[in-house]
Amino acid sequence: MKLLFETWRKYLAEAADVDVVNKNMIGGKQAQQLGITLIDFDIGPARKIAEALAAKLGAQLGKELGRGSPGTGSGIVYEIRAMAGEGRDMVLKITQFPREKKGYVLARWKKDQLEKKNPKLASILPEVSDIVDTIYDFEKGSYLSGRSIKIYGIIIERLEELPNRVKEQLFGHAGMFKDPEAETEWIKIVTEPKLLIPALRETFGDEKMRPRDRYYTYFDGRMESGLEFEKEVLDLKPPRDYRDYRARWIPKITQFAKSRAEQPTTYSSLVPTPDMMIQRQALKLPKRLEGSVKIPQYPPESLKLFTGIKGAYPKGGESPQVTAFFNKLMALGPEGVTFWDTHRENVMMRPLTNEIVVSDVGLFRHIKD
């Protein structure tokens, strides 16, 4: 118990980030509001910052490996090696955000804990080593002359990109499939009745209605007509591939649904007719189906923070890869960690063991925070 409290205090101390009061210092959030993000820095200035951080770590900086997506400002990743030659299995991530530093400190602390009692769950988190920081002074002559910003350097284990098949099993397509086997598996899963029927009922229903009218709300005959509609959909020839799924299968389902629309009793330019409502509902069907067979980006309790996003979670018909990884993500909650931002670019593979790892844990949070 004493050790537990000591490690908790260490986590709190390392996660804290108290800047010296300095009116010339630009905080990470303020910098983002001003449109200043590391990923927009030219190669030279960014490398200069990374070299300063590498020097603090007693390491040699290698080539730049990648940058965060535009608008996120999540950071830049470099190869790094210790002066003695060790460290080829590590990378240096530089970021301007204290919250990201805190996420990595949390992941390091939690991984150390889990390796003692649940190594399989610990494997989902990356190895995080030293974390240092430096102050970058903007050059004279720029509109930010005289201002500074704190940049953090985080040493993380080097991971590999997921194979296309595994990536598409976990996250589905990105507008198209690259792996034919993953595409075939995906088509089979989204057309399975145990996943398809609930998706149809949720899509063409209204949860605000009373129970007997909740499903197929705008169908003539409500649930009775809906059951006939479900049989039509199940009898429909399954899609050959993703293109056929979007070009024929989804439009055909929409056509079946609209044909069952309740006839309006009155007409008004201000009130959509039942067939118009069904058309709007049908637009949500692909997202609902596809979101039900992939890893979610945010935990269920966070969805209230996102206007218009309900979220979708695996419901038991997905591939074993999705099930196993999803269960590990959800198991972090009872351990005090909330996963966040687990999209296809933030999940990679540990090359020696082929374990799937969340590579970017900068937005992970402790439940008590």
Identify the structural domains of the chain with CATH numbers, from first to last.
2-159 (3.30.200.20), 181-292 (no CATH)
Radius of gyration for the alpha carbons in the chain, expressed in angstroms and rounded: 25
Q: Each residue of 184-218: pLDDT tens digit?
A: 999 999 999 999 999 999 999 988 888 777 899 99
- Residue 160 pLDDT: 95
Q: Which of 36-50, 145-159, 241-255 has the highest mean pLDDT?
A: 241-255
Reported as a single tens digit per residue, the pLDDT across 310-335 is 566 776 667 788 888 989 999 999 99
Closest CA to 164 of 176, 151, 155, 152: 176
pTM recorded for the entire structure: 0.82
- Measure Cα distances from 166 to 181, 198, 317, 331 in Å: 10, 26, 16, 21
C-alpha to C-alpha distance for 236 and 232, rounded to whole angstroms: 6
Residue pLDDT, tens place only, 145-156:
888 899 999 999
What pLDDT, on a 0 to 100 scale, did the predictor assign at position 8? 47
CB 61 within 8 A of CB 80: yes
Q: What's at 295, amino acid-wise? A: I
With a cut of 80, say whether residue 69 has pLDDT above it: no
CB atoms inside a 10 Å sphere around CB 195: 19
> What mean pLDDT is predicted for residues 66-78?
78
* The two structure tokens encoding residue 257: 């649904």
Relative to beta strand 76-82, strand 59-67 is: antiparallel
With 0-12 CB in 10 A as exposed, 13-18 as middle and 19+ as buried, what is 127? Answer: middle
Residue 25 confidence (pLDDT) above 80: yes
Q: What's the CA gap between 358 and 103, in Å, rounded? A: 12
Which residue, 246, 268, 267, 340, is CA-closest to 301? Answer: 340
Residue 54 has pLDDT above 50, yes or no: yes
Pick from 248, 250, 255, 200: nearest CA to 226: 200
Mean pLDDT, residues 122-150 taken together: 89
